[in-house]
Structure 1
Amino acid sequence: MSPRAPRGPATITAVVAAALAAGLLIAPQSASAAEVRIHDIQGSTRISPFADQQVSGVPGTVTAIRAFGSARGFWLQDPHPDRDRATSEGIFVHTGSTTPSVAVGDAVRVSGTVGEHYPGGTGAGLQSVTELTRATWTVESSGNALPAAFALTPSAVPDRYAPAAPGGGSGNSGNIEGLRLRPNSYALDRYESLEGMRVSVKDAPVVGPTSAYHDLWVTAEPGHSRTARDGALYSSYGDPNSGRVKVGSLIPFTQRPFPVADVGDKLTGTTEGPLDYDSFGGYEIQATALGQLADGNLARETTRKQQADELSIATYNVENLSPKTAQTKFDRLASGLVRNLATPDIVTLEEVQDDNGPTNDAVTSAGQTLKKLTDAIAAAGGPAYEWRQIDPADDQDGGQPGGNIRVAFLFNPARVSFTDVAGGDATTPVRVTDDHSKAGLSASPGRIDPANPVWKGSRKPLAGQFSFRGRPVLVIANHFNSKGGDQGLDSRFQPPARRSETQRTGQAGVVNAFVKKLLAVDPSARVVVVGDLNDYQFSPALADLTAGGVLTDLVTALPENERYGYVYNGNSQVLDHILTSRAVRRPDYDIVHINAEFADQSSDHDPQIARVKP
């Protein structure tokens, strides 16, 4: 049962007026002039032509009831559809915190106010949900058959995802609400044309694991763009995987617990219910019938041990780790590092919080956090890792308020040594040094250009110099700014604006420039850039980071269907990276899938590792 945010009717008269003026909507008859049916209310665009108006005696059959939360109500569907594929025959009747006194199968007539609910508010950029509020109704008969569910199949869901609004583009997106729906041409239009109606998927592959909110993602296109482990691969901005749809449940958990599913599992049989639009984005089947979970037996991966002459470098976003985190998470992270990652020589960590976690005070040190993790690693049979890091200035690096997240190095002193050079702190920029044409660092560890505006509210990269078998290796740990504030793939603004991309691209340019300075001193410098870059291998940020050929993004050497380490809204994608300079020989790269595809996670990111011969 997925939660929904409290809501009320939205005033969208201005939106409707603009659409009328542009000729995109036809002014409806007065609601009292003729019988108004659901398809009249829904109209052929995303916005109802009856928005903010009162309607009376709207007929339909009750198909489902939401009897929990603050957004209770029922779905109503007209068993006598019109012939226009663009107009939905279903609608949600919102009753607030009151459970409606209707039953599935009731034929009712409803009166109320037509509203457009924007999950998260209009500023979130999501689609709206047309609904009836302040409703009253009369039950005319009970026990009626429900309209047949529309089957979401590969032939029913177009490959093209969304229309582009006139004048739209990344950073300057246009609103598609006024465009007539073309459900045979665009997936988002297909889903919108089915809003509130009964839909179904059959034998649906799970492409996003069960979340803490009791929902999961499936695909209606099982043959489209799959990963090596049966997820849905997000490989370009042009292909968001149109068949993805979220599944929640209206069935009381006492009757049918929500399935705990991993990627690669399947909901066999039929899953059906009214098609809703979720508060967190994404069209969602509010299931009144759930398929049976078939276990795909997805296994957590284990990488190989590095050879004696190989230096292994891993990166791992440990997701808001602090001493207040449960010991079980520390133990699982430690087990993953020791067993699944085969005790890397160097580990860069992202999202290491300060010693009192989200408590928002002046504490910025993280020694207790890192000690608790390294103790857990030792207890799991791993080496006695040491660490290096720099405490950030309080509340300057983003992340969970009060947490002061930062990047940090762990290293195994039995295999690799750290070259300590004093002088690194939160605000002093590290410089490239030249020692007889050998590149070094003025401070190790040291932060790269921390005062640069591109790092505002974001983590500053940490440079460190290591020595492996007598050879220097320069490692730069990163955690670029998040995608917060970007418009979602299913936004009503198309193409969606990626506003956070500007800052990430600037950050990539700063790191690229620093690497170029290292290589200008010593073209054979062994440089490894790692971390959670919060962006895709095909993004402008990665293009700027690798500009000039100074770095190679190792993920691009993997088979395409293995290029992922994070799952979001049913899309398996790349956010974390390891990049190497030319002098780093024969990199052997592996994304170790132990988290992102599983309902039971120790982090939402998969770690990754590269074994190199410096």
Structure 2
Amino acid sequence: MRSYVLTTLVYYLGVASAVSIAEINGPAFLSPYAGKSVTDVTGLVTAVGPSGFFLRDVASTSPRRRSQPGSQAVYVFNATAAKNVTAGDIVNIGSASVVEYQNNKAYIPLTELTNPSAIKTVSKGNEVFPIPLGRNGLQPPTGQFSALDKGDIFGLPNGASKISTTNATLAPTKFGLDFWESLSGEYVDISSPTSLGATSQYGDLWIRGDWAVTGLNSAGGLTITTGTSSDANPETIIIGSPLDGTKNPSVKLGDTLNPIQGVITYGFGFYRLLPTTAISIKNARNTTNPVTTLKSEKSCKAVTIGQYNVENLSPSSSHLNAIADHIGYNMGSPDLIYVQELQDNSGATDDGTTNGNMTLAALAYAIEGISGIPYQWAEVDPENNLDGGQPGGNIRVAYLYNPAVFSLSGTPGTASEATTVQPGPKLSLNPGRIDPKNVAFTNSRKPLVAQFSVKGTQKPFFAINVHSGSKGGSSSLHGDARPPMNGGIEDRIAQHEAIVNFVQALEREDASVNVLAAGDFNEFSGVAPMDVFKDLMWDVDEVAGVRKEERYTYNYDMNCQQLDHTLVSAGLKEKVRGYQHLHVNTWREVETSDHDPSVGVYDVC
């Protein structure tokens, strides 16, 4: 049974007669007729789906829109009626109900006509013109999603406003959500689409048109950029399932597609375009995995350090050899590797196993087969099912290191023991966990710090391996809550504060101490949890001058984005010799891991 939520803000009783579709939609997100019946609605059928059809105002049958902000088209929800109309028909609906449909309260309501009755065909065979979107038509805004975000879609407090209760007048030339809402129900044409990532498990894919965009990277995707105003690319649109029952092709980042014609609607948390017929690939982007150009000198003058989230890796993982190839070949076998999301020896089998030595041994052995380097490793086994991730998997962070360059000595800690900073500085437990009993780390990975000795110097090197709490519970960038809910943000702030406290303790012992924190922080630069590190640690992307558009390690929905970071202390800031993100996964149709690795070269003498 399909359920409806009737918007109380603009709820009316009674009947309104002879209104246009533009009047039904009104100038805002919600219809002024919500909860009311309307009569004598005439429009042009532009597209038909299995459960309803799309109707455009007869006064708006040309491809040029009038200047009013609201849409001049609407979805008519009724499967029976859909069987009796055809695109090109002009029909009159005797009466219908106006509802604001939500299949999830976190989503933006969609204005629909339901329970249509006395549908009469006025004429057939009328030409249906699409509204062109792109260089020669309407262009979506590129900066902000909504005025309610107050200029920062990642700002706090989350969910301070809701589109459904504010119901602001649309400003389609300024805000992305307003733009797509102003086209809700409309039949449009995108002449030169480019895919922004792989086709999802549901058959959907994100695209950009030939309109102006921001954050364009060398792979053809759009990267989230942050700063004085965060830009998460509202100029994109998702392509849903075609109305003719065909399936979308499997695409990858940067593939160009043939022109797409279809209708704009809202569903499953996003504005989307439903093609009327099957879409196809025009040119498949030809690409290969990059290989780092950074080189180690196998001494403190130039060591290579990499980090990689290997996505639930266990000894039996089918992607283990591919991960080893990325590390041994594409990453150039770094002298030290920060690894995240290693599972225990039994993988996701929930049998009480927590030891991960077989996982690390299998990975080290596979890398040695490629590079010849006999990596050693360091880890602390977690307590069973207390660090999040797949139940039974017991994911953890760990280090792989080349014993010819890095060495480690000391007494390792346990899952519940906190290592502390001793005079020197040195660690009381090596490796050891940072503040593991802190409530912020409940059901989350604990940072692992290790003190290494490096060939060619007596100065210790302190590594902090991070896998911060997940973004579970986040809401859609196209959702009702503004700014969107950033799941787990309070925990990540507190987790990062614990790391800051530890680094400060090291620097109290030695202001020039070499500290490098790296891993999956599960957050973007410039957002509150990463701002915790300001004035204490420096983002290596900034230090090395990596182009902002290439700062990404993850591809999700419409955005290339950076969840994985490398931060250095003041003692290392001037010793960064180079840094690269190796986009070996984010462009692919099927990823080996859902993260890209990164590698840098540093003088740690």
Structure 2 CA distance for partners of 1:583 and 1:137, relative to 1, 3 Å = farther
* Equivalent residue number for residue 229 of structure 1: 219
1:408, 1:98 → 2: CA distance? 60
Q: For 2:587, what is the secondary structure of its paired residue? A: coil
Question: Once the 2 structures are TM-superposed, how far is the Cα of residue 36 of structure 1 from its aligned partner?
Answer: 4.2
2:596 paired with 1:606 = yes
Question: Once the 2 structures are TM-superposed, how far is the Cα of residue 137 of structure 1 from its aligned partner?
Answer: 6.9
Question: Once the 2 structures are TM-superposed, how far is the Cα of residue 60 of structure 1 from its aligned partner?
Answer: 3.5
2:163 paired with 1:176 = yes
Question: Once the 2 structures are TM-superposed, how far is the Cα of residue 579 of structure 1 from its aligned partner?
Answer: 1.4
* 459-468 or 78-87: bigger deviation: 78-87
2:102 paired with 1:115 = no
2:85, 2:400 → 1: CA distance? 60
Structure 2 CA distance for partners of 1:308 and 1:163, relative to 1, 3 Å = closer
Question: Once the 2 structures are TM-superposed, how far is the Cα of residue 463 of structure 1 from its aligned partner?
Answer: 0.8
2:569 paired with 1:581 = yes
Question: Once the 2 structures are TM-superposed, how far is the Cα of residue 501 of structure 1 from its aligned partner?
Answer: 2.6
Question: Once the 2 structures are TM-superposed, how far is the Cα of residue 197 of structure 1 from its aligned partner?
Answer: 1.0
Amino acid at match of 1:127: I
2:97, 2:509 → 1: CA distance? 70
Contact preservation (8 Å) 1:204, 1:219: yes
* Equivalent residue number for residue 538 of structure 1: 526
2:181 paired with 1:192 = yes
Q: For 2:326, what is the secondary structure of its paired residue? A: helix
1:134, 1:324 → 2: CA distance? 54
Contact preservation (8 Å) 1:487, 1:498: yes
1:440, 1:499 → 2: CA distance? 35
Amino acid at match of 2:260: T
Question: Once the 2 structures are TM-superposed, how far is the Cα of residue 174 of structure 1 from its aligned partner?
Answer: 1.3
Question: Once the 2 structures are TM-superposed, how far is the Cα of residue 102 of structure 1 from its aligned partner?
Answer: 4.8
1:318, 1:73 → 2: CA distance? 44
Alignment of 1:291-440 (within 5 A): 292-304=281-293, 305-309=295-299, 310-323=302-315, 325=317, 327=318, 329-360=319-350, 362-381=352-371, 383-422=373-412, 424-434=413-423, 438-440=424-426
Structure 2 CA distance for partners of 1:408 and 1:142, relative to 1, 3 Å = farther
1:148 to 129, 149, 167: 129
Contact preservation (8 Å) 1:532, 1:577: yes
1:595 to 563, 572, 585: 585
2:377, 2:591 → 1: CA distance? 24
* Equivalent residue number for residue 443 of structure 2: 457
1:245, 1:601 → 2: CA distance? 22
1:75 to 54, 57, 68: 54
* Equivalent residue number for residue 22 of structure 1: none
Contact preservation (8 Å) 2:43, 2:57: yes
* Equivalent residue number for residue 218 of structure 1: 207
Amino acid at match of 1:117: Y
* Equivalent residue number for residue 248 of structure 1: 240
2:181 paired with 1:204 = no
2:111 to 98, 117, 130: 130
Q: Give the unaligned 5+ runs of structure 1.
A: 1-6, 18-26
1:461-508 per-residue CA deviation (whole Å, 9 max, x = no partner) reads 011122220543211100112223334333333333545333222222
Q: For 2:567, what is the secondary structure of its paired residue? A: strand
Question: Once the 2 structures are TM-superposed, how far is the Cα of residue 379 of structure 1 from its aligned partner?
Answer: 4.3
Question: Once the 2 structures are TM-superposed, how far is the Cα of residue 345 of structure 1 from its aligned partner?
Answer: 1.9
* 363-372 or 478-487: bigger deviation: 363-372
Question: Once the 2 structures are TM-superposed, how far is the Cα of residue 533 of structure 1 from its aligned partner?
Answer: 0.8
1:415, 1:100 → 2: CA distance? 72
Q: For 1:296, what is the secondary structure of its paired residue? A: coil
1:49 to 28, 32, 35: 32
Contact preservation (8 Å) 1:9, 1:116: no
Contact preservation (8 Å) 1:355, 1:366: yes
* Equivalent residue number for residue 552 of structure 1: 538
Identity over the aligned pairs, expressed in percent?
32
1:322, 1:115 → 2: CA distance? 50
Contact preservation (8 Å) 1:61, 1:144: no
2:508 paired with 1:514 = no
Contact preservation (8 Å) 2:344, 2:353: yes
Structure 2 CA distance for partners of 1:14 and 1:322, relative to 1, 3 Å = farther
* 148-157 or 306-315: bigger deviation: 148-157
Structure 2 CA distance for partners of 1:97 and 1:311, relative to 1, 3 Å = farther
* Equivalent residue number for residue 273 of structure 1: 262
Question: Once the 2 structures are TM-superposed, how far is the Cα of residue 61 of structure 1 from its aligned partner?
Answer: 3.8
| TM-score, length-scaled by structure 2 | 0.86
1:156-192 per-residue CA deviation (whole Å, 9 max, x = no partner) reads 3234524434999621521233111122332211110
Question: Once the 2 structures are TM-superposed, how far is the Cα of residue 451 of structure 1 from its aligned partner?
Answer: 1.0
1:258, 1:546 → 2: CA distance? 44
Q: For 2:17, what is the secondary structure of its paired residue? A: coil
Amino acid at match of 1:387: W
Structure 2 CA distance for partners of 1:79 and 1:64, relative to 1, 3 Å = same
Question: Once the 2 structures are TM-superposed, how far is the Cα of residue 518 of structure 1 from its aligned partner?
Answer: 1.1
* Equivalent residue number for residue 11 of structure 1: 5
Alignment of 1:487-502 (within 5 A): 487-498=475-486, 500-502=488-490
Contact preservation (8 Å) 1:62, 1:102: yes
Amino acid at match of 1:140: T
2:453 to 463, 467, 470: 467
Structure 2 CA distance for partners of 1:223 and 1:11, relative to 1, 3 Å = closer
Q: For the aligned residues, what is the CA RMSD?
A: 3.1
Structure 2 CA distance for partners of 1:520 and 1:187, relative to 1, 3 Å = same
Structure 2 CA distance for partners of 1:428 and 1:63, relative to 1, 3 Å = same
1:341, 1:166 → 2: CA distance? 39
Alignment of 1:252-267 (within 5 A): 258-267=248-257
Contact preservation (8 Å) 1:249, 1:288: no
Question: Once the 2 structures are TM-superposed, how far is the Cα of residue 447 of structure 1 from its aligned partner?
Answer: 0.8
Question: Once the 2 structures are TM-superposed, how far is the Cα of residue 54 of structure 1 from its aligned partner?
Answer: 4.3
2:321, 2:485 → 1: CA distance? 40
Equivalent pairs counted in the alignment come to 578
Question: Once the 2 structures are TM-superposed, how far is the Cα of residue 109 of structure 1 from its aligned partner?
Answer: 4.8
1:194-224 per-residue CA deviation (whole Å, 9 max, x = no partner) reads 1121122221233333333322222233453
1:417, 1:564 → 2: CA distance? 31
* Equivalent residue number for residue 20 of structure 1: none
Structure 2 CA distance for partners of 1:146 and 1:378, relative to 1, 3 Å = farther
Structure 2 CA distance for partners of 1:100 and 1:451, relative to 1, 3 Å = farther
Contact preservation (8 Å) 1:8, 1:133: no
1:564, 1:596 → 2: CA distance? 9
* Equivalent residue number for residue 505 of structure 1: 493
